[in-house]
Structure 1
Amino acid sequence: MPGVPSNKACERCKKRHLKCDETRPHCERCESAGVKCPGYVQTRKFIDQGASVRRRYAPYQEAHSKPGATVHAGTDESPENNQSQSQDPSSSSNLYAAQPGGPSGAQMNWQTFNFEREESGANSNTRIPAAQTARVGLSQNSEMESLQGQFRLLDDLAIHSAPNPNQTPGGETSRNPIGSSVSPGISTGRTTAPEAAYNQSTVSRSGPEKIVSPASVSQRSEKEEFHDIFSELMTDTEHEIAFLTRHFAEIIGPWLDLSDSGKFFSVYVPIRAINSPSLKYATAALAAKQLARVKGTKLSAGGALFTSPATTEIYPNAAQTDWYLKAANYYYMAASDMSNSASFGYTVVSSSAVLQSPFEIVSQWLQRAPENSQSSSNGNLLRKTEEMLAAAVLLTFYRLFDADGDQWHTHLRGIRSIFDTIMRINQSNVTVFSHGVRACFWNLARQDYLGAYFNRIPTHFDPTNLSLWHAAGITVDENDKLRTNINDPGHLSQEDQSANGLCWLVSKVINFLARSKQSQVAQWTGSPSSKQSGSQESPGGNDYDTNTWLDLSFQFQTWFEGVPETFRPCVRIDHPRDFSASSENARLPFPEVFYSFSTCAAAMQHYHFGRIALLINQPPDVVSAPSTAFDRLQGYREVTKEVEYRCREVCGIALGRPQAGVRVHMIPLLFAIGQCLEGTDEHQIVVDLLRGVEADLGWATEFAVTKLEASWNR
């Protein structure tokens, strides 16, 4: 390239100011001196539209330094950059000229976007178009469209006031440590089986193969370096949104549809996200967070082994992408759009608004929604309510993904007031929640009692507020008894009715435990206020606890006797063989149970969990009264035997490797039975199951393992 000096000397000769013979792959001067040649630097220069673009891309220069390849993102010292800046009339001042929704006002002049490449056996001054250089795993046309989309990101980030995607608030560069080094001869893309088949079956349409000869190591290194930059600049591009939306619909959505046969989150939410920016960015944030937790490994939902994956299933350089940074950006964009909706355009949304809880934003919107939607129909208001609430649920699960169990209950603060407001708004129209509101409610209700269990505190949703639970789709009669197998006006299946009804029963158990804990604390401390509040909540003292315990036990037994036949396991091995042991007669201490219906598998786990919680929290006079010491001892033995049986059932369902939606909701359950088990081999199985959830699905479980190990070592 005219005006750019040749820079083909090896690094050692360059530092020593010696004339290099430029022999590839190693300099003969270094070889003759008995020193390992450090290799050659490949220089790529972007001729862009000015200093503002160079400053924006400057962090990539530091973050992507790898052995054998250095990226110069349009440095100010480049003579050509200064020349192109002075000659190009469309300078950086026009970079953000495009309006939201406009065509392509901020796109670069592709006639001046070129690479300067130096590679073995090639002319170092050859000017190569960008689309021709980037043909790695993508066709030429699709790569050009993606490159144009990555520069449209600049407009989108300016519109949404998103932070620099490469810098932390302190100005330091943020990079995934996984991408700090790349092994020669190995593709930096995903190495899953579907992609391996894809690489072999689509060479003709995808350009060069990913595994190349050692002679082209320098060329491959440059392509890897380009993909590093390319994937990080893809935020909010068409391909990335499509990839994350599909990942959400296939992998994460079924977790949230555990007791919803209508599949609101996996089917309707991705469709609603097309016209709802808050839902679009919320789904992308949660999908990116899950990918960050599993280091970019994408589970195969379709199970294809030999056919080529779709384009929306592939993300370039996924294992080296900083998914945490992308997830944070999408969370910011979703929260900003929700805050803008809550303000109804009256005020400018500040960056501090995204620090609010998503439920606080929804609550603000609900308070203003009726007075600002008088001209709109009730259907539009209901649809917007579902979208806002679903986005809040997704952003809350984003926070719960890597939070300790003790913090779950805090993240759910405000859900009770939201549904009370929804009932007050709709009380004159409908008596039951819509499909979307109901799906959000049951996800929050399940997470509510699981989070309350860790802290032994009451749930946010009050089980005695029967109108709320009836609006959510279950039927409780005037005697506070759950009824299932009835014609449901909300079109709930029998499995959904039974699973959701069990959520209500377990919530009652958790509140019973919280009340028992408060009574014990009041007894120990002798607090008058505690005694007074205890007398108000528990008339009759211990008799009230006894009657409540017996009533809950009876309701659990009635629920179990009324479930449909789908709640029976289709596979059960009581003494499975331990294939990891050397002995052929080695057996696992737990059975292995598999349910064909994930809703039923989760419900049965939570059923045994509720029964265990009741058994180990029996009021003193319920064991066997009046009785002798022998009778009390025999009663304790019976309780211990039943607790052990139900622990084996919970662990057996977990060992059966149920669907992902079941596994992410069984963390508190495994934590509970881990405190009841005594054998060392049993402890190890529980630890392996907990860590397996985090390794496979990304949901944090190490906090539970740490607590269990501390209790076992006491």
Structure 2
Amino acid sequence: MPGVPSNKACERCKKRHLKCDETRPHCERCSAAGVECPGYVQTRKFIDQGASVRRRYAPYHETHAKSGAAAHVGEGTTGLSSHAQPIIQSQQPRAELFGVQSDNGTSDSTLNSRQDESHISVKNVQMVEAGPFDDIEPVSLQSQSSVLNGLAAHPASDLNLAFGSRAPTSPIGNSISPLASIGRTPALENVLHKTSLDRPDTEKMKSSEDISPQRSEREEFQNIVSELMTGTEHEIAFLTRHFAEIIGPWLDLSDSGKFFSVYVPIRAINAPSLKYAIAALAAKQLGRVKGAKLSTGEGMLTSPATTEMYPNAQADWFLKAANYYYMAASDISNSTSYGYTTASSSAVLESPIEMIGRWLNRMLVQDKDQHVSNKDIFRKAEEMMATAALLTFYKLFDSDGDQWHTHLTGIRKAFDVLVEADRVNLSFFSHGIRTCFWNFARQDYLASYFTRCPTHLDPENLDLWRAAGISIDNHAKFHINQSGPINMSQEDQAANGICWLVSKVVNFLAQSRQSQIAQWTGSSQSRSTGSKDSPGDASQLSTNTWLDLCFGFQSWFEGVPETFRPCVRIEQPKDLSKPSENSKLPFPEVFYSFTTCAATMQHYHFGRIALLLNRPTDDVSAPSTAFDRLQGYREVTKEVEYRSRELCGIALGRPQGGVRIYMIPLLFAVGQCLESDDEHQIIVDLLRGVEADLGWAAEYAVQKLYASWNR
């Protein structure tokens, strides 16, 4: 609540106990006496005499009668506290900046009392109620050193205790909100009290649209405090919770056991590299979406927990993410090194999976005299593989599809070592290693599709894929077990089975591309590989491989459970963005109640489209006449159009984030098959929606599509 002037008389009249006419800037009594008026130095003191005084002297806005309730404003914005208004002054321009509307009415007496505030004394200022940290005015550059000294004088545990306290309610329950309290030392309190009165009125009343693009002192101070929070209990808790609720399910796309969203945050308590990898990935995702948190379905009007909010709405998440990534990579380097040497700065440049692959080779294969049990080694391997998966995910987050393949170098060697070790110890990978494998496998074939090169994980290495949990018989045929030897649901088996099949398709495309390059360069493939097969034999082998893949996809589709049927389907949904009642979208809208099934069906249609468009020529069984060939082309076009519509229909149903981040290469492939402008625009909107909502890079796919359409 703003301060109430204790006396409006000038200093001379006040000392002489004379009635002052309060004329500004100099009173007439002093002027008539021929003396210089000393001015109106007003000492403010804070009082609380009920709602009547608050209404008279300050804008008092109360959204809800209940303290702790939050007003829902919208998604994708950063919220301010609604019931804990700043005590020193109104922050209406700041509220407008974050999408919160407040009453900006200010009484004349309050405006008059703010004049000449550069000389205001603060010795009698009292705080009635602690306001949100984000509502505190900026500290001047001269005062920052004293603030930092005050913070440094208190141990980190004091700050952590303050971070754990209940914060005021954010009006936006699903977004990053400033905490109402932060660890305040006496030095910090004094500076905050003083600087809250030192800000000029013109700056206080400035509209959010007129804010200078230059970083203000307030932002600089907030960034300093934010950097001091790196690694603190509250920041780690905030990022860990964000990972568990938002990002973890993306990595558990084909794991009903929820290893990443449930077990990994628990393992991170005693595993520094895993803890920092979680923080790095969560911070980077927040940076990509400009600090906006996604809604996870909790109440919109209830009070959020302290761990759901962050005190600085303008935190440099990218800088924090880089710091945490380096801390995680350094810890992995120390853990995998031979001695107890400190990690160098070059550790952050090396692939985490390559470092872990060397460590696994040394611990599980080379070292025979081990002083720890294999059980402990495999548990440690689970944690390190999970860390590598998170740090690789971190790199893929904002990389172009053409760069994915280089970030996955080393996964083949690491899993080959695990397969070699499991032949002696176990028949299958553990739960954590299995989940990491399927994440790498999915990223592997999508990366290879962009570059048209073979996958790192060889789909013909059946021992590897069997160790990962899917059932492949001696004839290399996949099938779903009703009750398998490991705890893997039928949906997970089907999802991982399609991952193996699509990997085989992508490798088939890479082989076909190599054959084409060999023909263009004038050197036969058989000569380069040393094979004595004739070109006719190679063509027949390619045709057999293509047919075998087609039968594999058809057998897979016939064996999936009923959960792979959509629960909602609209054949011709209306385009609500257009006023015409007859405007229909060119795609259906399809929704699956099971997230795993939605992603799996998208990849199934993607694999079938890739096979349809890359059928090898066969001189024996090819159509004999031109009309037969034309009819064959029409059938292919019709099926490609059908599967493209199905894939886009699932995307239009807005599935869970784990489905959307992996459908970027799929939409890129479908976009090259579609022709109408309306269809192109929908593809572009879907791709850019992924980047806007989730932060996953997609603009490179849009630009590639535009280049393809404009040729």
Give the deviation of 1:216 after TM superposition.
Answer: 11
Q: What residue number does 2:490 align with?
A: 494
**Aligned counterpart for 1:693 among listed residues 667, 690, 696:** 690
SS state of the match for residue 540, structure 1?
A: helix
Q: Any residues of structure 2 matched to 1:136-535 within 5 Å, and which?
A: 192-194=172-174, 226-318=221-313, 320-370=314-364, 371=367, 374-528=370-524, 531-533=527-529, 535=531
Cα–Cα, structure 1 residues 486 and 194, in superposed 2: closer, same or farther, change >3 Å?
closer
TM-score of the two chains, using structure 1 as the length reference = 0.72
**For residues 41-80 of structure 1, what are the alpha-carbon distances to aligned partners after superposition, in whole Å with 9 as ceiling and x for unaligned?**
xxxxxxxxxxxxxxxxxxxxxxxxxxx99xxxxxxxxxxx
Q: Does 1:658 align with 2:655?
A: yes
Preserved CA contact (<8 Å) 2:398 2:696: yes
Distance in structure 1 (CA, Å) of the matches to 2:603 and 2:532: 30
Cα–Cα, structure 1 residues 536 and 496, in superposed 2: closer, same or farther, change >3 Å?
farther
Cα–Cα, structure 1 residues 149 and 568, in superposed 2: closer, same or farther, change >3 Å?
farther
**Aligned counterpart for 1:681 among listed residues 671, 678, 702:** 678
Distance in structure 1 (CA, Å) of the matches to 2:615 and 2:252: 34
Give the deviation of 1:431 after TM superposition.
Answer: 1.0
SS state of the match for residue 395, structure 1?
A: helix
Q: What residue number does 2:608 align with?
A: 611
Q: What residue number does 1:590 align with?
A: 587
Preserved CA contact (<8 Å) 2:289 2:693: yes
Q: What residue number does 1:13 align with?
A: none
Cα–Cα, structure 1 residues 196 and 336, in superposed 2: closer, same or farther, change >3 Å?
closer
Preserved CA contact (<8 Å) 1:569 1:594: yes
Distance in structure 1 (CA, Å) of the matches to 2:220 and 2:490: 54
Quick one: which amino acid aligns to residue 363 of structure 1?
G
Give the deviation of 1:227 after TM superposition.
Answer: 3.7
Distance in structure 1 (CA, Å) of the matches to 2:526 and 2:319: 47
Preserved CA contact (<8 Å) 1:549 1:618: yes
Distance in structure 2 (CA, Å) of the matches to 1:619 and 1:504: 21
- Pairwise CA RMSD of aligned residues? 3.7
Cα–Cα, structure 1 residues 502 and 22, in superposed 2: closer, same or farther, change >3 Å?
farther
Distance in structure 2 (CA, Å) of the matches to 1:471 and 1:526: 41
**For residues 464-519 of structure 1, what are the alpha-carbon distances to aligned partners after superposition, in whole Å with 9 as ceiling and x for unaligned?**
10000000000111111101133222210000000001100000000110111111
Q: What residue number does 2:573 align with?
A: 576
Give the deviation of 1:361 after TM superposition.
Answer: 1.2
Preserved CA contact (<8 Å) 1:278 1:338: yes
Give the deviation of 1:365 after TM superposition.
Answer: 1.5
Give the deviation of 1:369 after TM superposition.
Answer: 2.3
Cα–Cα, structure 1 residues 403 and 198, in superposed 2: closer, same or farther, change >3 Å?
closer
Cα–Cα, structure 1 residues 281 and 632, in superposed 2: closer, same or farther, change >3 Å?
same
Give the deviation of 1:600 after TM superposition.
Answer: 0.1
SS state of the match for residue 610, structure 1?
A: helix
Distance in structure 2 (CA, Å) of the matches to 1:119 and 1:536: 93
What count of residue pairs does the alignment treat as equivalent? 556
**For residues 531-556 of structure 1, what are the alpha-carbon distances to aligned partners after superposition, in whole Å with 9 as ceiling and x for unaligned?**
44284799921111111111110110
Give the deviation of 1:317 after TM superposition.
Answer: 2.2
**For residues 600-636 of structure 1, what are the alpha-carbon distances to aligned partners after superposition, in whole Å with 9 as ceiling and x for unaligned?**
0000000000000000001122896242110110000
**For residues 94-143 of structure 1, what are the alpha-carbon distances to aligned partners after superposition, in whole Å with 9 as ceiling and x for unaligned?**
xxxxxxxxxxxxxxxxxxxxxxxx967852567999x97975689xxxxx
Unaligned runs of 5+ in 2: 1-36, 43-92, 95-115, 137-146, 160-168, 181-188, 207-215
Preserved CA contact (<8 Å) 1:264 1:439: yes
Q: Does 1:628 align with 2:625?
A: yes
Q: What residue number does 1:56 align with?
A: none
SS state of the match for residue 537, structure 2?
A: coil
Preserved CA contact (<8 Å) 2:134 2:179: no
Distance in structure 1 (CA, Å) of the matches to 2:637 and 2:593: 30
Give the deviation of 1:228 after TM superposition.
Answer: 3.7
Unaligned runs of 5+ in 1: 1-18, 25-67, 70-117, 139-143, 157-188, 201-206
Distance in structure 2 (CA, Å) of the matches to 1:195 and 1:544: 56
Give the deviation of 1:300 after TM superposition.
Answer: 2.2
Quick one: which amino acid aligns to residue 353 of structure 2?
F
Cα–Cα, structure 1 residues 651 and 626, in superposed 2: closer, same or farther, change >3 Å?
closer
Cα–Cα, structure 1 residues 317 and 626, in superposed 2: closer, same or farther, change >3 Å?
same
Give the deviation of 1:528 after TM superposition.
Answer: 4.9
Give the deviation of 1:321 after TM superposition.
Answer: 0.9
Identity %: 65
**For residues 556-615 of structure 1, what are the alpha-carbon distances to aligned partners after superposition, in whole Å with 9 as ceiling and x for unaligned?**
011001000000000000100111111011100000000000000000000000000000
Distance in structure 2 (CA, Å) of the matches to 1:430 and 1:335: 29
Distance in structure 2 (CA, Å) of the matches to 1:464 and 1:242: 43
SS state of the match for residue 300, structure 1?
A: coil
Give the deviation of 1:347 after TM superposition.
Answer: 2.8
**For residues 6-53 of structure 1, what are the alpha-carbon distances to aligned partners after superposition, in whole Å with 9 as ceiling and x for unaligned?**
xxxxxxxxxxxxx998999xxxxxxxxxxxxxxxxxxxxxxxxxxxxx
Moved more, 613-622 or 330-339: 613-622
Quick one: which amino acid aligns to residue 674 of structure 2?
L
**For residues 157-179 of structure 1, what are the alpha-carbon distances to aligned partners after superposition, in whole Å with 9 as ceiling and x for unaligned?**
xxxxxxxxxxxxxxxxxxxxxxx
Q: What residue number does 2:6 align with?
A: none
Distance in structure 2 (CA, Å) of the matches to 1:455 and 1:489: 36
Cα–Cα, structure 1 residues 526 and 477, in superposed 2: closer, same or farther, change >3 Å?
same
Q: What residue number does 1:65 align with?
A: none
Preserved CA contact (<8 Å) 2:176 2:291: no
**For residues 182-216 of structure 1, what are the alpha-carbon distances to aligned partners after superposition, in whole Å with 9 as ceiling and x for unaligned?**
xxxxxxx987355799999xxxxxx99xxx99979
Quick one: which amino acid aligns to residue 264 of structure 1?
F
Q: Does 1:554 align with 2:551?
A: yes
SS state of the match for residue 257, structure 2?
A: coil
Preserved CA contact (<8 Å) 1:249 1:267: yes
Preserved CA contact (<8 Å) 2:179 2:306: no
**Aligned counterpart for 2:121 among listed residues 111, 120, 123:** 123
Quick one: which amino acid aligns to residue 579 of structure 2?
S
Distance in structure 2 (CA, Å) of the matches to 1:292 and 1:365: 32
Cα–Cα, structure 1 residues 622 and 449, in superposed 2: closer, same or farther, change >3 Å?
farther
SS state of the match for residue 569, structure 1?
A: coil
Cα–Cα, structure 1 residues 689 and 190, in superposed 2: closer, same or farther, change >3 Å?
farther
Q: What residue number does 2:163 align with?
A: none
Q: What residue number does 1:563 align with?
A: 560
Q: Does 1:705 align with 2:685?
A: no
Cα–Cα, structure 1 residues 196 and 420, in superposed 2: closer, same or farther, change >3 Å?
closer
**For residues 341-375 of structure 1, what are the alpha-carbon distances to aligned partners after superposition, in whole Å with 9 as ceiling and x for unaligned?**
00143433211122111112102221332439822
Distance in structure 1 (CA, Å) of the matches to 2:678 and 2:605: 21
